[in-house]
Structure 1
Amino acid sequence: MRFATWNVNSVRQRLGLVTDWLSRNSPDLLLLQEIKCETAQFPAGAFQEAGYDSVVVGQKSYNGVAILSRVPATLRHRHLPGLEAPEGGEHHARYVEIEAGGIVFGNLYLPNGNSGGADGYQAKLRWMDALIAHARDMLASDTDFVLAGDYNVAPTDEDFATGALSADDALVRPETRERFRALQWLGLTDAVRAVTPRGPVYTFWDYQAGCWPRDRGLRIDHAMLSPRVAERLLSAVPDRMERDKPQPSDHVPVVVTLAD
């Protein structure tokens, strides 16, 4: 099985890029974040023509997640268990979960935490606490799962270029990193770092300050695997050349291959 996670930063604006990438790579699942459209406006027809069914949790202009699947899939959740599903705010349109091929796939777009002052950062931490609790519950029920998406977390200093983030950025603050480590301490495997333990492996380059040509990137898109899924891991790599396409997203797909 092969799946990918990709913050597309507006699915309608990047539709051509996404369908082209699907035609060249043919993953079983593609987890999309920041689709920036309401569910009814999602271009499901174009993806169906490419051979993919869509499960969408949209929001006008902001956030939004979707899963494209060319294998049978069953919807489990349209929001993160443990959090209410309000009509707006930090938690809206940030999580969708399916089961496919005997594995639960949670697709997440975690709050950035840099906007909204102290309240905005606390919302990020509450979201992460709920994610940890959900992972713990799935482990307790002996569920095989993947939690993948835009975490808005750079777990270590190796996960961002020198000078790309300040020490007080919400992506690297101690409380943020503590919660990411808590997922790992539950027994989850960071797929990319399992394959490439050291060195720069970026998934995001800001549009500003020449970050792409200067390779001033961040690794903030992750695929966290439960133990039995991790045993099947063959590869996990960002498709970084997508960042060099015309009018690209500022993120690139992270592609994970599992043994059958």
Structure 2
Amino acid sequence: MKIATWNVNSVRKRTGNLLAWLETARPDVVVLQEIKAQEAQFPRLEVEAAGYKVEIVGQKGFNGVALLSLHPVEITARALPDGGGDEQARYIEGRIATPKGPLTVGGIYLPNGNPIHTDKFAYKIAWMDRLLQRARQLLAREEMFVLGGDYNVCPTDRDVYDPKGFANDALCQPQSRAALRMLLNLGLTDAVRAWYPDTPCYTFWDYQAGAWAKDWGLRIDHLLLSPQAADRLAGVTIDKPERGRPDPSDHVPVWCELDFQSS
């Protein structure tokens, strides 16, 4: 089973890219971020025609997440708990049956947090704490889960092309990295690093300054696996060619494959 994440950076603008990728990659489940659309604006008919069930948490013009699945899915959350009235559309979660028991997939669009000396960074860290609490709740079930999405955190300096240049960016702040490590220290597995422990694995290239051509990238899109899911990890792919398509997103899809054939 393929579980994918992709920040599409406006689903209405990238509908053609999304449909072409769904046809070729054929993920079983994909979580999308930054759809920048309300539910009525999402290209539901086109995506459903491709065989996918569609669940959306939208927001006018900003943010927004979606979960697409080839399989029946029970939506278990449309926001993180303890939001205190937070209206930003940044989380969706669904449960899918597999031959080896239920699999929960969470879709995350973590706040960017820049500039760091503003309330935006405080919101980012508080949001990460809420995600940590949700991960603890999911771990208590002792079931498979994948938390995929745009985390807006470069875990280490090797995940950013210019560590010195990004030293004051919210994506590389010690607090951001520490909050991500807290998630991993619960016992979660970073799928990309489990599969590619030493290779530069960028998932984002800015539109500015020729970043794509120069391979000035960042690794900010992650798939974090529970121990039960990590035990079944059978492959990881970063679909880098998508960044070279006409009118691309500045992110590329990342997916992992879970093996349900073995015992």
TM bracket (short chain): over 0.9
Provide the rounded CA distance (Å) in 1 between the counterparts of 2:194 and 2:222: 11
Shift of the alpha carbon at 1:138? Answer: 1.4
TM-score, length of structure 1 as denominator length: 0.95
SS in 2 for 1:171: helix
SS in 2 for 1:149: strand
TM-score, length of structure 2 as denominator length: 0.94
Match of 1:239 in 2: 239
2:90 pairs, out of 89, 94, 101, with: 94
**Relative to structure 2, which stretch is displaced further, 78-87 or 224-233?**
78-87
Match of 1:224 in 2: 224
Shift of the alpha carbon at 1:165? Answer: 4.2
Question: Conserved in 2, the CA contact under 8 Å of 1:164 and 1:216?
Answer: no
| Residue 118 of structure 1 pairs with residue 118 of structure 2 | yes
Which structure 2 residues correspond to residues 73-222 of structure 1 after superposition, within 5 A? 73-87=73-87, 92-101=88-97, 102-115=102-115, 117-162=117-162, 165-222=165-222
Match of 1:4 in 2: 4
Amino acid at match of 1:2: K
Provide the rounded CA distance (Å) in 2 between the counterparts of 1:141 and 1:232: 17
Question: Conserved in 2, the CA contact under 8 Å of 1:164 and 1:217?
Answer: no
CA RMSD in angstroms comes to: 1.3
Shift of the alpha carbon at 1:168? Answer: 1.4
Where structure 2 has 5 or more consecutive residues not aligned to the other structure, the ranges are none
Provide the rounded CA distance (Å) in 2 between the counterparts of 1:250 and 1:162: 17
Shift of the alpha carbon at 1:3? Answer: 1.5
Runs of 4+ aligned structure 1 residues displaced above 6 Å come to none
Percent identity among equivalent residues?
Answer: 51
Amino acid at match of 1:48: E
Q: How many residues align?
A: 256
Shift of the alpha carbon at 1:118? Answer: 2.3
Amino acid at match of 2:180: F
Provide the rounded CA distance (Å) in 2 between the counterparts of 1:24 and 1:120: 37
Match of 2:49 in 1: 49
Amino acid at match of 1:184: L
Shift of the alpha carbon at 1:25? Answer: 1.3
Question: Conserved in 1, the CA contact under 8 Å of 2:57 and 2:65?
Answer: yes
